[in-house]
């Protein structure tokens, strides 16, 4: 998960602060990662899927931090993460 560790860390921090939801532009995620998202993240909603036990390290980053994607707005290029209970 090395590339997505900064996103994991950020989401853990948000979880500890008590935040229940976070809507963020793709560009902000790129800032957290210090690198661009893959083109598929901007083209395919499925990239943002909550994959349990799969090989997609990006999904593992948010799921292991206790979050899941609840909404993706491809036209606005934003994603909403919600905290798992």
Please, are residues 81 and 22 in contact by the beta-carbon 8 Å criterion?
A: yes
How far, CA to CA in Å, does 33 sit from each of 6, 29, 45, 46? 6, 6, 19, 20
Round to whole Å and give the CA distance between 20 and 30: 21
Please, are residues 71 and 3 in contact by the beta-carbon 8 Å criterion?
A: no
Q: What is the pTM of this model?
A: 0.91
pLDDT in tens, 7-37: 999 999 999 999 999 999 999 999 999 999 9
Edge-to-edge strand ranges of the sheet holding 21-25:
21-25, 78-83, 67-73
pLDDT in tens, 39-79: 999 999 999 999 877 778 999 999 999 999 999 999 999 99
Round to whole Å and give the CA distance between 28 and 80: 12
Its domain, for residue 36, covers 2-83
Domain count, the chain: 1
């Amino acid at each position: 998960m090395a590339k997505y560790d900064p996103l994991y860390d950020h989401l853990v921090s948000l979880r500890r602060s008590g935040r229940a939801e976070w809507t963020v532009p793709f560009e902000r995620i790129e800032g957290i990662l210090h690198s661009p998202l893959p083109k598929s993240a901007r083209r395919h909603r499925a990239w943002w899927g909550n994959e349990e036990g799969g090989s997609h390290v990006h999904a593992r980053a948010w799921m292991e931090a206790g979050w899941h994607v609840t909404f993706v707005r491809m036209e606005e290029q934003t994603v909403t993460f919600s905290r798992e209970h």
